Amino acid sequence: MLNVRWFDAVIIVVNIAATIGIGLWFSRQQTSTETYFVAKRSIPHWAMGISIYSALISSITFIAYPGSAYAGNWNELVPGFMVVGVLIVVGLIIIPFFRHAVGMSAYEYFGKRFGYKVRAYSALAFTMGHFSKMGFVFYTLALTIAAMTGWNIYLIMIITGFVTIFYTVVGGVQTVIWTSVVQGFVKCIGIFICLGVLLYLPPGGPSAAFRLAWDNHKFSLGTLNLDFTQKASIWVMTFYGFFWYLQKYTADQTLVQRYLVAKSDREALKGVALGALLCLPAWALFMLIGTLMWSYYHLSGEVLPPHIDKPDKIFPYFLTTKVPVGLAGLFMSSLFASAMSMLAADLNCLSVVGVEDYYRKLRPNSTDKQRLAMGKLIILICGALSVLIGIIIAWKSERVLSFYFIVSSIVAGGLAGLFLLAFLSTRANKEGVYIGIAVCLLFTTWGTLTSGKQPIWDLGKFNFKLHPVMIGVLAHIVLLAAGYVASLFFPAPDPSSREMTVWGWLERRRITKAGDLASVPTSNLPWGTG
C-alpha cells in the first residue's frame, strides 16, 4: 500500500478545514431550536436538493456500487428508478401535508394520529435503523482511506468523527445543509476523476472497454422472471426499491426534515425533485465505474493480488495503484465528504427525534434553551457511540455486532406500512395499530432469523423462502393489512382523526381553493390554517 503523498494530504486538510469553517460561520445564529433544527424554514430549494443528494450518497455507496457492478451487473440500480415513481406521489400530496401537519419531527404525525406510544415506537425504529448504518459508514470510510494511505484505521475514524460531531453541534441544520452543498460538488469531482482514469487506462480505449462489458451482459438490469427468491430478478429489486423509498420519503426524519426547512411547499417539492434527479445519475456512474474496472482488468490481463478476495476491496485497490498524485487527494476528499455529509444529517435528525419525541415528553415544561442544549448533547453522545461502533467493527470484525444489526432490522421494519395505514384509512385506530406493529415484529423476526443459505434459526420447510430483501417489502404490507383488520374489532376513532388522513387533506384543499377556509373552525384542522 502507498503512503499518502503530501499534495494529496494538503487537499484533504483544506477540505476538512473548510467544513469546520462553515460550521463556525453558522454557529452564531444557533440560538433557538427553530433555527437549530429547521433553519427557520429559510433554505432555498437548490441547496435543499443538493443536501438530499449528499445525504443519500455515502461512503458505503462509493464502495458497494462499484463492487456490485464489478462482480455482476447493474441490478442494484433498479431500486433507484423507483425514486421517480415515489416522488410523484410525495410531491403532489405528502410534502404539503407534512409541512402543515408537523412541526419538526416526522413522528409527530403518528402521535397525532394514534397517540404517543405509536410516536415513540416509530421514532425508536428510525433511531435503531440509522445507528445500524452509521458505524458501518465510519468503518468503510476508514478502511478505504487506510488502504490508500497506510494511515491508522482507528485514527481516521476518530478524526472524522470529531470533525463531523463538532461542526454538527455548533452549526445545526444550516451547517449540515450548506456543508452538504459544498461536499456535493466535491463528490462529483471524485466520481469524474475515477471515470476519467478508467476511460484512459484500458488497452484499446473506451470503445474496447464498453464493447467487452456489453458482450458479457455487464449492463444488464437483471431477469424479468417472476422469481422472488433471486435478487437478480428485476421484480424483487423493483418492489424493494418502491417500498424503500416510500419509507424514506414518508417515515424517515432525514428526508422529512428537508421538507420542513424549505421556504414554501413549492420550494420543498423542487428541492426533493432535484435531489432525486441528482442521485439517479450518480448511482449510474458508480455502476459504470465498477463495470469499467472489470473491463480494464480483463483487457490488461493484470492479476489482482490474493488479498483482494472480495468485490468491495477492488475499488480501493484500484484507487491505490492507478490514481495519480493530486487526483487521489481529490478523490479521498470526496470520500470524506460523502461520509461526513451523511453522518452529519443523521446526527442532526437523531437530535431532533431525541428532543421532540422523547425529551419534550419527559420534560414538558422545559424551556427552548434547555431543549437546544439537550439537542447538542444528543449529537455528542450519538456521534461518539457511532465512532465506537465503527472501532469495534474494525477491532473484532463485523460479526461482533451482528446481533444488534439483526435486532435493528427487525424493529425498523414496517414504517411505510404504518404511514399508509395512518394516511389512507379513516377506520384505523390505535388498538388496531398496536396489533399491526406486534404482527409485523413477529413476521420480521421470523423472516430475518430463518432466511438465507445459513439461517440463524433453521425451521426447515418453514424457513422464509424468498430473497431476504423481500422481508422489508412484506413487513410494510403485513403491518398495513394486520393493523387495518384488527382496527375493525375496536370502536371507530373520533371523527376528527379524519383530518389527519389523505381524505381530510383533500377536503381541506378543496375548501381552500373554494375560498371557504374561513368558514371552517380552526380547531377542526390539526395543522391550523397555515
Are 376 and 89 contacting, i.e. CB atoms less than 8 angstroms apart? no
Quote the pLDDT of residue 218: 92
Residue 439 predicted with pLDDT over 90: yes
Cell readout for 451 is 432466511
- Whole-number Å distance between alpha carbons of 515 and 219: 53
Confidence of residue 195 (pLDDT cuts 50, 70, 90): confident
- Whole-number Å distance between alpha carbons of 306 and 64: 20
- Whole-number Å distance between alpha carbons of 156 and 431: 48
Q: What angle do CA 61, 63, 69 make, to 5 degrees?
A: 90
User: Is pLDDT larger for residue 440 or for residue 455?
Assistant: 440
pTM of the predicted model as reported, rounded to 2 decimal places: 0.82
Give residues with Cβ within 8 angstroms of 143, minimum separation 6.
Answer: 153, 316, 394
Quote the pLDDT of residue 215: 93
- Whole-number Å distance between alpha carbons of 331 and 59: 12
DSSP 91: I
Confidence of residue 127 (pLDDT cuts 50, 70, 90): confident
Cell readout for 418 is 404504518
Give residues with Cβ within 8 angstroms of 382, minimum separation 6.
Answer: 131, 134, 347, 350, 351, 354
Phi, psi torsion values for 223, nearest 5 degrees? -95, 150
In the chain, the N- to C-terminal Cα span, in Å, equals 59
- Whole-number Å distance between alpha carbons of 384 and 461: 43
Residue 516 predicted with pLDDT over 60: no
Quote the pLDDT of residue 214: 94
Quote the pLDDT of residue 426: 92
DSSP 218: T
Confidence of residue 5 (pLDDT cuts 50, 70, 90): low
Nearest to 1 by CA among 311, 297, 295, 313: 313
Residue 335 predicted with pLDDT over 70: yes
Report the pLDDT averaged over residues 57-78: 83
- Whole-number Å distance between alpha carbons of 12 and 144: 14
**DSSP track, 317-338:** HHHHHHSPTTHHHHHHHHHHHH
Quote the pLDDT of residue 64: 79
- Whole-number Å distance between alpha carbons of 286 and 300: 21
Most confident of 57-61, 187-191, 436-440: 436-440
Q: How many CA atoms lie within 13 A of 139 on its CB side?
A: 20
Confidence of residue 397 (pLDDT cuts 50, 70, 90): low
Are 54 and 342 contacting, i.e. CB atoms less than 8 angstroms apart? yes
Are 386 and 343 contacting, i.e. CB atoms less than 8 angstroms apart? yes
Quote the pLDDT of residue 344: 84
Amino acid identity of 162?
F
Residue 520 predicted with pLDDT over 60: no
Phi, psi torsion values for 43, nearest 5 degrees? -85, 130
pLDDT mean across residues, the chain: 82
Quote the pLDDT of residue 521: 45
- Whole-number Å distance between alpha carbons of 405 and 329: 33
- Whole-number Å distance between alpha carbons of 420 and 246: 10
Nearest to 38 by CA among 257, 332, 317: 257
Amino acid identity of 420?
L
Partner residues linked to 262 by β-bridges:
43
Quote the pLDDT of residue 523: 41
User: Is pLDDT larger for residue 117 or for residue 143?
Assistant: 117
pLDDT digits (tens, 9 = 90+) for 274-289: 888 888 888 899 899 9
Cell readout for 142 is 476508514
- Whole-number Å distance between alpha carbons of 211 and 502: 50
Q: Return the minimum-mean-pLDDT range out of 248-257, 327-336, 426-435.
A: 327-336
Confidence of residue 120 (pLDDT cuts 50, 70, 90): very high
Written out in words, the top-level CATH class of the domain with range 10-14+16-412 is mainly alpha
Angle between helix 253-261 and 327-353 (nearest 10):
90
Report the pLDDT averaged over residues 384-398: 80
- What does the buried/exposed string (b/e) look like for 19-42 if buried means 16 or more CB atoms within 10 Å of the residue's CB? bbebbeebbeebeebebbbbbeee
Share of residues in the chain with pLDDT > 70 (%): 90
- Whole-number Å distance between alpha carbons of 312 and 290: 10
Angle between helix 265-300 and 153-200 (nearest 10):
70
Confidence of residue 406 (pLDDT cuts 50, 70, 90): low
pLDDT digits (tens, 9 = 90+) for 459-483: 888 898 888 888 888 999 999 999 9
Q: Report the phi/psi class of residue 302: left, alpha or beta, with left for phi > 0 and alpha for psi in -120 to 50.
A: beta
Are 255 and 268 contacting, i.e. CB atoms less than 8 angstroms apart? no
pLDDT digits (tens, 9 = 90+) for 219-267: 988 888 877 777 668 888 888 888 888 888 888 888 888 888 888 888 8
Length of the chain (residues)? 530
Share of residues in the chain with pLDDT > 90 (%): 18
Q: What is the CA radius of gyration of the chain?
A: 24
Quote the pLDDT of residue 288: 93
What is the torsion angle, in degrees rounded to the nearest 10, for the CA atoms of residue 30, residue 339, residue 41 and residue 251?
Answer: -120
